[in-house]
């Protein structure tokens, strides 16, 4: 089963935008940094814009620009904007199988607890805790 990479990619995008507060960054530049296609980036930008994190401007001089304060934006905020409601999903059980019933009954509360712990951790981490060190590392490379 493929795992979603929307959340880490969205954090990556927002960290770049946080390091460029005075201008727009093109989807081509973002895609190059993410090592993916610009179409993938544009889909994420649409989600981030819908959630109010960014604004976009079309055209040659266009791109995306951060609208939120990186010091008050949490990773939980970003996660909630780009990921599906449930982190963990159980398979559809065979109704007559006792193993399926026990697995569902046992795993559901464990997975819910794990999800809440993950979201709690994300809520304690600010975008700036990623964007500031990343920007410093970027400058050290001579860019």
Question: 91-140 pLDDT, tens per residue?
Answer: 777 888 888 889 888 988 898 899 899 999 999 999 999 999 998 888 88
pLDDT for the residue numbered 6: 92
- Is residue 48 within 8 Å of residue 10, measured between CB atoms? yes
Instruction: State the average pLDDT for the chain.
Output: 90
pLDDT for the residue numbered 96: 86
- 11 pLDDT exceeds 70? yes
- Is residue 1 within 8 Å of residue 90, measured between CB atoms? no
> How many Å apart are CA 108 and CA 93, to the nearest integer?
12
pTM for this model (two decimals): 0.86
**Domain limits, the chain:** 6-84+126-140
For the domain made up of 6-84+126-140, give the CATH fold: Arc Repressor Mutant, subunit A (1.10.10)
pLDDT band of 2, cuts 50, 70, 90:
low
- Secondary structure E strands in 23-132: 54-57, 63-66
pLDDT for the residue numbered 84: 78
Question: 41-56 pLDDT, tens per residue?
Answer: 999 999 999 999 999 9
């Amino acid at each position: 089963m493929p795992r979603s990479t929307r959340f880490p990619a969205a954090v990556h995008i927002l960290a770049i935008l946080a390091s460029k507060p005075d201008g727009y960054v093109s989807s081509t530049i973002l895609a190059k940094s993410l090592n993916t296609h610009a179409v993938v980036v544009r889909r994420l930008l649409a989600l981030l814009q819908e959630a109010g994190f960014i604004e976009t401007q079309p055209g040659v001089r266009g791109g995306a620009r951060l609208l939120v304060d990186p010091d008050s934006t949490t990773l939980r905020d970003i996660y909630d904007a780009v990921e599906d409601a449930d982190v963990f999903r159980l398979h559809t059980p065979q109704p007559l199988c006792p193993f399926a019933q026990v697995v569902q009954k046992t795993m559901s509360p464990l997975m819910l607890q794990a999800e809440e712990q993950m979201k709690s951790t994300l809520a304690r981490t600010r975008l700036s805790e990623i964007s500031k060190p990343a920007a410093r590392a970027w400058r050290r490379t001579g860019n």
